């Protein structure tokens, strides 16, 4: 049975009961980001752990998760700390609406689709 006091990400020098430092995490992230960037240039090279945390929280919010649930999952003591993510999605929504051709019409027109069935002998 695993020891509940052990860290999932632990220090190689201290062992399972030693917390890995933020600098060590960022060093590993950057090492793998450089390698990944060679295959996909969209991967940022100067990535850090907080960017991953922020991205996950933003995805939870975009997927409709309640801000209180996100705050709890992130371990924030104050809801105000989590409210920063609401500003991000509001800004993203405004940018998306601004890309519509007609600025006065913020609705999306109904699209009609036809389905063709192809039979192969």
Residue 120 lies in a domain: no
Please report the pLDDT score of residue 104 as a whole number: 52
> What is the number of structural domains in the chain?
2
- Under the banding of pLDDT at 50, 70 and 90, the label for residue 117 is very low
Q: Are residues 77 and 63 in the same domain?
A: yes
- Candidate ranges 19-23, 87-91, 102-106; pick with highest mean pLDDT: 19-23
pTM to 2 decimals?
Answer: 0.56
DSSP notation for 17-53: EEEPPHHHHHHHHHHHHHHHHTT-TTS-SS--HHHHH
Residue 61 lies in a domain: yes
Please report the pLDDT score of residue 52 as a whole number: 83
Sign of the Cα torsion 38, 39, 41, 44 reads negative
DSSP notation for 60-90: HHHTT--HHHHHHHHT-SSHHHHTHHHHHHH
pLDDT at 11 over 50: yes
Structural domain including 23 reads 1-47
């Amino acid at each position: 049975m695993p020891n509940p006091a052990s860290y999932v990400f632990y220090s190689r020098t201290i062992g399972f009961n030693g917390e890995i430092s933020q600098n060590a995490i960022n060093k590993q992230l950057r090492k793998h980001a450089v390698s990944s960037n060679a295959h996909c240039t969209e991967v940022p090279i100067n990535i850090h752990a907080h960017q991953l945390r922020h991205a996950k929280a933003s995805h939870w919010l975009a997927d409709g998760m309640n801000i209180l649930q996100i705050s709890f999952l992130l371990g924030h003591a104050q809801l105000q700390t989590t409210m920063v993510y609401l500003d991000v999605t509001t800004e993203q929504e405004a940018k998306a609406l601004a890309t519509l051709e007609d600025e006065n019409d913020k609705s999306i027109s109904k699209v009609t689709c036809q389905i063709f069935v192809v039979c192969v002998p």
